Amino acid sequence: MPYIPYTRQQQQIMLETIGLRSMDELFQDIPSPLRSPEFDVPRGKSEMQTVEHLRHLASLNSTGLKSFLGAGFYDHYIPAAVSALVNRSEFYTAYTPYQAEASQGSLQALFEYQSTMCRLMDMDYANASVYDGGTAIYEAMMMAVRQTKRRKIIISEDINPIYQSMLKCYTKNLHLELIVVAQKDGLPDLETLQGALDDSCAALVVQNPNFFGYILDYSDLFSAARDNGVVSIISVYPIMQSVLKTPGEMKADIAVAEGQSLGLPLSFGGPYLGIMTCIRKLIRQMPGRVVGRTQDVKGREGYVLTLQAREQHIRREKATSNICSNQSLCALQALAYVCLTGPDGMRSIAAKGMELARYAASRLCSIQGVEMLNQAFYGNELAIKLPMNAYDLLSRMIPQGFVPGFPLGRYYPGMEDCLLMAFTEKNSQQDIGMLTELMRGIIEG
């Protein structure tokens, strides 16, 4: 923690130098509700005392919990070699690879990342990533708007509600028409989605597995979208792509994903990784950077940034997301994870999560009043109905060292008694057994 020992007198001298009278005046352009609150650190403390105070505050957090929390972000084991490779100085300190002659290592790594994501999604092209999964959906949506010259977007309500909030925020001033088709017991309303498609729609946005953990085949829906000239966008969970029907097999036009589960730690919410892939027809609408492989005049293989204008070279209203040096490090981390895990390892991780989810379902549904939200096919994540409020259950289990899941009522009114639970290779049958008995004790009394 940097200790910044400026006195009030020194601060006042600096403010007067730039013609201001107070710190409030310095930050007046930031709305007051968005400014940092008072940290409530006692005055007159030394650096050592301040650090001790902050450590004490940090110790009040609940840590070391057994977690079954997913909802779009998953706690997977990260092989130690991933960190060892990514932290090599030639990658860790590399600047954005504008100059191909000085950046062949970074460019080759990004090219291999793109190739890997294309194989994972079964799509034609990938870019060198964007900021996160929500940004990737937004950029995919804007690709569709540019391609079709239309402004209506059809969104299934069972995509991650965080992504839905991001889409509303990003498009607030863009005069797009976002139509959200309500889910039914955690499942997309395929009939209504298909009925909403017409020649005024730019894009259709769905997710697989969806936010409730259910696995779906959108092939027929994508076919209907194609008949209406609508761009099909699907957001996926990359780990599950090794065992599920891929976006390419469903004939999606754009496939995106949150890449956190590929070797990136949860880290309190980031930095994460937005994976973007598309079919050949849409490559010129792809935002961010695309690395290509070529040959020089002597026939030597080399890698270059291609198809892209630098963000500084285009007008603001036409600008798209772009990655920085640090973001490409996240892409490299995902590449290292996939290479070290391999296709068999990916399938094994996906299968383990699904196996544990089914074991958990059988155990949890033995508790009086607990049942599955519906009988649809699910992956490593499942939604259950409780005979009590899910928040109340959470508040009673955390002191006992367990986070049983995500309360769906937070984003879906009427589902206050529903809980979303995720399972990865870091969970065990023993953990699930302890979880079940704790829940049974609370629910059955």
pLDDT band at 306, cuts 50/70/90?
Answer: confident
Instruction: With a cut of 80, say whether residue 309 has pLDDT above it.
Output: no
| pLDDT tens readout for residues 313-348 | 556 566 676 666 667 899 999 999 999 999 999 999
- Would you report the helix, strand and coil content of the chain in percent, each value rounded to 5? 45, 15, 40
* Residue 128: both structure tokens together: 């060198």
Q: Find, among 235, 261, 238, the residue nearest to 164 by Cα.
A: 235
Instruction: With a cut of 50, say whether residue 91 has pLDDT above it.
Output: yes
Instruction: With a cut of 60, say whether residue 93 has pLDDT above it.
Output: yes
pLDDT band at 18, cuts 50/70/90?
Answer: very high
Q: Dihedral sign, CA of 23, 28, 29, 30?
A: positive
The pLDDT value recorded for residue 1 is 46
Instruction: With a cut of 60, say whether residue 310 has pLDDT above it.
Output: no
Write out the DSSP string of 294-322. Answer: EE-TT--EEEEEES---GGGS-GGG----
* Residue 220: both structure tokens together: 């027929």
Instruction: With a cut of 60, say whether residue 2 has pLDDT above it.
Output: no
Contact partners, residue 153, CB within 8 Å, separation at least 6? 141, 144, 145, 167, 176, 177, 178, 179, 201, 202, 203, 204, 205
In the chain, pLDDT over 70 holds for what percent of residues? 95
Contact 405, 433 (CB under 8 A): no
Contact partners, residue 298, CB within 8 Å, separation at least 6? none
- Residue 69's alpha-carbon distances to 277, 349, 426, in angstroms, are 27, 17, 12
Contact 380, 213 (CB under 8 A): yes
In the chain, pLDDT over 90 holds for what percent of residues? 77
| pLDDT tens readout for residues 422-434 | 999 999 999 999 9
| pLDDT tens readout for residues 406-419 | 999 999 999 999 99
* Residue 166: both structure tokens together: 């991001």
Mean pLDDT for 104-119 is 94
Residue the block writes with tokens 């402004």 = 151
Whole-number average pLDDT of the chain: 92
| pLDDT tens readout for residues 130-184 | 999 999 999 999 999 999 999 999 999 999 999 999 999 999 989 899 999 999 9
